[in-house]
Chains A and B, each alone.
Chain A
Amino acid sequence: MSMQINTETVSTAPEISCHLLPCEIHHNEEANVCKYFETTIRKEEDLLTGCMHGRPLDGEKVALPSGYTGLVVIESRKAATEEEDRMLDIKSKFNEFTYWNLDKPTSKEDMVSKALQWIDIANILHSPINQDECSQRSVTGK
């Protein structure tokens, strides 16, 4: 079983605004985001505040790590059998998103920020080792 990602539509995929909310909404459908959520957003200096179900939210706009594009990927048609390859399509894309905390100023210690840092760490962890350096180290190593 494998899944192909149909990336050729990426250039034409619409840019979309994304908010990562601090609550779980049991819904996977349309919603009046512009009218009911974006109208609650206020910006004072660099601080964003918003409101959901009467609760105060603190937000931060996050630019994606360079070299990365945000994609909303959909599987429009479920594969009929386990063996059949699945096909994923790009529905929309984004280069920044806003994450929101429930009544807590955003910080570098927020899970989202820390999680995105994985990209940098992964780069270090998985970059090839210079062979000379390696043999040299093994000579001097304990």
Chain B
Amino acid sequence: MPKRPPSRQSSSKAIQEADQSQWVFLMNDNLLEISGDIEEKPVICQLRHPKTDEGCLYLFDQHGKNVYEIIKYKEEFRSWLIGESVQKDGGIILTTQIDPVFLVLPYLIQQDKCSKYMTLDQIVIDDKYTECRRLPDCNGLNELTQVADVKGENDFKGYRYNKDKTLSWLKAKVDNLTDGIIEKGIQVIKSQSAMYVKSNKEEKLDRDAYVKYSYGMISDYLPLQISQELKTYLGIPDCEEKVSHNPVEEPPAKRVKLEDIKPLEDYSKQNDDKKKPTLSKKLSMAQKKLEKIDKKGMKSLSSFFSPKPK
């Protein structure tokens, strides 16, 4: 599990975060079916993330047959009102089924170095993320035949990584996803400039742009090396890939400090100070006009000046 760098945040905040003991989940209904055996419950645990190599949370269903990815939506300025209470954390934890082949693939590739057929129990072993022992039971792993050569039967199935099969399988994944994001109308062009996108609305985007996007998304589930190989396999040009520090939140829009907003006149004080507030108001109105301008297109410009994220 990655340790956060020693934070500059106030300690009180850190404590508050640590104290959180309530979360909002969107739970796949399959996870809520009660099985006969009440001892069987869905379990959240850390597994090695195939891309980042770090521990991330995943969820095994009550039968241990399906594994779900846990992804959290969280915007900065959000909190929940839940019934008659507040939950400071305005996040939503989404649980979606993940193809377990993605989680096994790094172990398979690792084993490839000895190029022997091995059983899953021998392949999926991890001293750091021991819960990976749950993976071999997952239903989705019959798909392993699409990334590995298989020998033997039943409990004695041996697997050996097959790169060509894997790339072909991944290509099918990319194709599927490409169809999906086209159908769902996902915007794949960086909204660097809203205007650019608008002017291109009519023109149909090249399928290549979607393929590249899908490839990028799927690469989020792959070790770096296989992701590179897939890129070549798909014929995606190995362009500079502008390091897109996808600009960390836009600087918050400025607002007149509340303290500045005063009643222009307070009869109880009689009419002393009437001129100054009007003046400052006018200035702020001008500022407001500026705010009206759609700043979307300027984002990159403003982030250019803001300090580099550390």
Contacts and interface: CB of A to CB of B under 8 A. Distances in A.
Interface residues of A, number: 72
Interface of A: 1-8, 10-11, 16-34, 37, 64-65, 67-76, 78, 88, 91-92, 102, 111-112, 115-129, 131, 133-135, 137-138, 141-142
Dominant secondary structure of chain A at its interface with chain B: mixed
Given A24-B90, A112-B73, A126-B96, 17 more contacts: A4-B42, A10-B32, A21-B81, A24-B88, A26-B88, A33-B85, A69-B26, A72-B22, A73-B25, A92-B83, A122-B94, A122-B97, A125-B176, A126-B102, A134-B169, A137-B168, A141-B168
Contacts, number: 226
B117 to A, nearest CB: 20
Interface residues of B, number: 74
Contact of A20 (B26, B78, B83): B78
B31 interface: yes
Nearest to A133: B172
A125 B94 contact: no
B177 A2 contact: no
Contacts of B145: 131
19 contacts: A5-B43, A8-B34, A18-B81, A20-B90, A21-B79, A25-B88, A26-B16, A28-B85, A31-B84, A33-B84, A33-B86, A67-B29, A68-B29, A69-B29, A72-B22, A72-B82, A122-B94, A125-B180, A127-B99
B217 interface: yes
A24 B32 contact: no
